Chain A
Amino acid sequence: MAPIPSLTIRFSFKSPMDSDDLAMHTSKQSKPLLRGSIKLNDLFAVATISAAVIIVGLPATAQTPAPASKTKAETTTQVKAEPLSGAELWALNCNRCHMARSPGEFTAAQWQTILMHMRVRANLPATQAREVLKFLQAGAGK
């Protein structure tokens, strides 16, 4: 049995004080300052701003749904394997034994008769035969 594909929800929230922005901001400012002799004061200023950012960021983080804190069951949703469509079943079943016939080759009424014939001949499951029939009749010739 093929594994059922899973869907992982990743929530992305762009904040004005996003950590990426912060990293860029600090790097731009700290490099020229480090060249000077007032390193201590610069560090103090940076630390102060950083503390402010953290404090500001906390409420926003608390308010925003936090995917990281959610359980795996909550963040991972199993996508149910959908049954194959009529088009897929048409390609799958017809090409097993012969070249697939184009929907426009026969009328809708003829397709109904031919699909009954093929359902019997190829032992097609009824549900699949009906889906193929719908696909073929939708594009049937006039």
Chain B
Amino acid sequence: MVRSIPTIVNQTILCGLGALICLLSPSAAMAQDVASSPPPSSDYVSREEYDKLKTEHEAMKTDHEAMKKELDALKAVVQQMANGTVPGAPPEGTSPAASPSEGKQVVTTTPSQPVTPSTEAEAVPTETSGPLATHSFSIVGDAEVQFGKISGQHGAFMLSDFAPIFLFRGGDKILFEAGFDFIIQNNAPGGSGYSTTVNLSFATLDYLINDYVTFLGGNMLLPLGTYSERSAGWLNKFPDAPLPRSVLPGNGVGVQLRGGIPIGEKGQSLTYSAFVVNGPGSVDGSGNADQLDLGGNVGLTSNGKFANLHGGAGEGGRIAIFWPWKPLYDLEVGVSGMSSPWDNAGRRQYNALVADWALHIGPSVEIKGEYMNTWVGTDNAGTITPHGWWLQAGYKLAGLKLNVPYLDKLELVGRYDTVNDGLSMRTKRGTVGAVYYVTNTLWLEGDYEFTSNHGPNPEPDDSLLFQISYGF
């Protein structure tokens, strides 16, 4: 049935007016409430409630950001653990690494606590109820077993190195550390049996003066570049050292001040080392070019005399910046140098300048290297300039996300190194190989080295090397 138009108009107008009256009435009442005080209705948010919610929201946002950052870092490490390139997860319930949430719990409960060495020891849960002992002795280090086949020679197994590091901590500020190398070698052709060689790689007494300065005294690894301080078998991805390290002294006897200064909230730091050591010596005491002895001036002569061979001192140091921009993405760049007399008369000078760099792009890519140049004053050849550089790169196949068990534990590595001894010998070498990570500290390394020598007494050429490296 169709209604007439006037009827519809009237109904519509009445509906409209009715709605208007209904809506205006509460509006007027609410306007009065607003003028006096906020309404108690749960449909509205007061200023106080808003501020409270805002504060809570900001706190949650901050916590969320912190947890996200931490989770990203832990994810990367856990991924490496899954790939076997980092140790397996610790026993369940005991390690923050086993669970990001557990790690977060640990971290969030501790940062606000003032940290001092004494209280921090007491705060650590242990199996005993008392604080940790103030003195402690530990052994860490590495060992390598090697098989080598050099062009034109028989291949052979070698125990190349057993290198324990003894650490004795006396309280919160004193540490004595000593590193040894035990090496067995076949006796020279014509002899029988073998000999065991023990080298003292370093032995220093460290005193932590404050947060920014640490004193070292003794036989120390010299911070010329980074290789000498980071060359243990399970740190170096190649069985041997870069060639140009031969133009630099590896260690020296003396004193050193060093430390690190944080310069940002992302883990950035500025690091420095400054040392005074006896410096290089001369094999026969002369200043002839072929008599430079980079590691022989340890301060005590074989006839019992207590003397520096040349009476001078070698000074040097390194300054570097470490700049991570997100977890596992970082760049380290350093410059180091040294200057010292080296002949017994103290008239000839040895100077060295080294630039080093290391770049990590995610958990899979690492590129690093060093450039070094030295200036050596001599009696018979003027100033010679032994120099060289090396560059190496590694790529962990886990980065391809193939999820193939064995491939994910493999890292392809390559290195190019070259050295010029400043006299007549130049060597260039290219190395390709791979590292298989059985665990985070047990590696299998295999490399083939292409060597090109130029000079009167060239070294043996190409070689094939396999090495088992273990860090403990």
Where the two chains meet, the residues of A that have a C-beta atom closer than 8 Å to any C-beta of B are 1-2, 5, 7, 9, 11, 13, 15-16, 37-38, 41-42, 44-45, 48-49, 51-53, 55-56, 58-60, 62-65, 77, 79-93, 95-110, 112-114, 116-117, 119-128, 130-131, 133-135, 137-142
Contacts and interface: CB of A to CB of B under 8 A. Distances in A.
Given A9-B54, A92-B267, A112 B121 contact: yes
A67 to B, nearest CB: 10
A55 B23 contact: yes
Contact of A64 (B44, B110, B260): B44
B175 to A, nearest CB: 5
Given A48-B20, A109-B132, A92 B265 contact: no
Interface in B2-22: 5, 8-9, 12-13, 15-17, 19-20, 22
Chain B, interface size category, equals 35 or more
16 contacts: A13-B45, A41-B13, A44-B16, A49-B20, A51-B20, A60-B44, A86-B106, A87-B103, A88-B70, A95-B360, A99-B80, A100-B440, A104-B91, A120-B208, A134-B120, A139-B95
B454 interface: no
Contact of A89 (B44, B264, B267): B267
Q: Could you tell me the dominant secondary structure of chain B's interface residues? A: mixed
Contacts of B343: none
A59 B65 contact: no
Contacts of B324: 92
A53 B23 CA distance: 7
Contacts of B262: 125, 127-128
Contacts of A62: 34
B413 interface: no
Interface of B: 5, 8-9, 12-13, 15-17, 19-20, 22-24, 26-27, 30-31, 34, 38-39, 43-45, 47, 50, 54, 57-58, 61-62, 65-66, 69-70, 73-74, 76-77, 80-81, 85-91, 94-98, 102-104, 106-108, 110-111, 115, 117, 120-121, 123-127, 132-133, 136-138, 140, 165, 167-169, 175, 177, 206, 208, 210-212, 214, 216, 229-230, 232, 234-235, 258-262, 264-267, 269, 271-273, 320, 322, 324-325, 327-328, 330, 332, 358, 360, 363, 437, 440-441, 471
A139 B96 contact: yes
A5 B437 CA distance: 38
B268 to A, nearest CB: 9
Contacts of B441: 99, 101
A83 B386 CA distance: 44
Contacts of B265: 81-84
A125 B211 contact: yes
A65 B97 contact: no
Given A125-B260, A127-B211, A52 B330 contact: no
Contacts, number: 308
A80 B88 CA distance: 35
Contacts of A142: 94, 126-127
B43 A91 contact: no
Contacts of B95: 102-104, 139
B12 A113 contact: no
Given A45-B16, A135-B106, A112 B169 contact: yes
| Most chain A CB within a 10 A radius of its CB, from B13, B132, B133 | B132
Contacts of B106: 86-87, 134-135, 138-139
Given A98-B471, A99-B80, A45 B13 contact: yes
Contacts of B97: 87, 102-104, 139
